[in-house]
Chain A
């Protein structure tokens, strides 16, 4: 009986400990100074350089589809705006997608980033979205104006 009680208590403490460890991460992220913020964003864009050559040169099959950017906007609002901002202007958690680095990146590079995410820096992979939906998001991103 005592053993069971100890096990429950240990499990409860472990759960509380893990939640306490994970939740303040958002808090800690918010306390980054502007310099740290810029540094973080630079690291996000640095991920572009990791895209393999064959991924970078991939062309967007929906580039000429007039509906693609509208659908891409809808998908962006559903999946991306929470972190990148409603206007893709960037927030504490995620960088601006209007930045020159993004706008100058090839569609294939953006598609590769969407597919793989930047997992260690908090961006999930979006390969759960079908390929055409990822291309729709890329098409939308390419319509954004640089800051």
Chain B
């Protein structure tokens, strides 16, 4: 959930399936999922399109909406702290449970509404993040403050945060080709939560999570991610179990360019 300042390589497409299993006190657990298409439009601009859905156990499986995310890198060189500007537009129903980020007064109890009712409500939302990230001696530390505004209603601006640190298990690459080399694994921990809104800024009635995370990058372009997230207060889900599988397609933009009449 925490972004560093690294963008998709230009011309590459990454396709990901991502899942969140969540427990629900007083209701049914759920499995939310997204399909993600991430494209490196430029070395300084990455654009992503998400399609979300969810299954609430003993209820139903529904499509919940889409998101369009853009990340822009304003500075050319590496600096002590590297900023990236993140802008997302989302059109999702109130039944969305992917919890891509936590904002405002998002609470576990918001998820009790049955799908048939929750899907009637639609949100058009703009979300802004400032991604601040620094890599030092193999460690990446990132902080993502966020502000979001629901465009459909006269809702206030909502705020949230994500903070994380991660490191590859080995800093030097081995000389042989291998899938299980330590350098292919990245381990880390992140914390994310809500910070209220313009009417009531702070930690009251907010939810927060602490989540260790591990990623396995295979040389073939596949990546597997796994992260169990633990709720830190009574307003949080007790457990959010996340995993994702993605595949990188290098040269996708060039391939599309050729399809539309470019030279080899």
Contact = CB atoms under 8 A, between A and B. Distances in A.
Nearest to B183: A133
Contacts of A127: 6, 78, 135
Interface residues of A, number: 46
A23 B171 contact: no
Interface string B28-49: 0000000000011111110101
A131 B91 contact: no
A122 B172 contact: no
Interface string B67-84: 010000100111000000
A69 to B, nearest CB: 9
A130 B41 contact: no
Given A131-B138, A132-B171, A23 B253 contact: yes
B42 A122 contact: yes
Contact of A11 (B77, B89, B262): B89
Q: Which of B40, B78, B260 has the most CB of A within 10 A?
A: B78
Interface string A120-139: 11111101101111001000
A22 interface: yes
Nearest to B260: A27
A39 B9 CA distance: 23
B175 A120 contact: no
Interface of A: 4, 7-8, 11, 14-15, 18-19, 21-31, 67, 70-72, 74-75, 78, 82, 93, 115-125, 127-128, 130-133, 136
12 contacts: A18-B41, A24-B260, A25-B41, A26-B262, A27-B261, A27-B262, A28-B257, A72-B173, A75-B173, A82-B251, A119-B76, A128-B4
Nearest 3 A-B pairs (CB), nearest first?
Answer: A27-B257, A22-B41, A27-B262
Given A26-B253, A132-B172, 20 more contacts: A4-B122, A7-B124, A18-B41, A23-B256, A25-B253, A26-B254, A27-B261, A28-B257, A30-B257, A31-B263, A72-B173, A82-B9, A117-B76, A118-B43, A124-B7, A130-B172, A131-B138, A131-B171, A133-B173, A136-B172
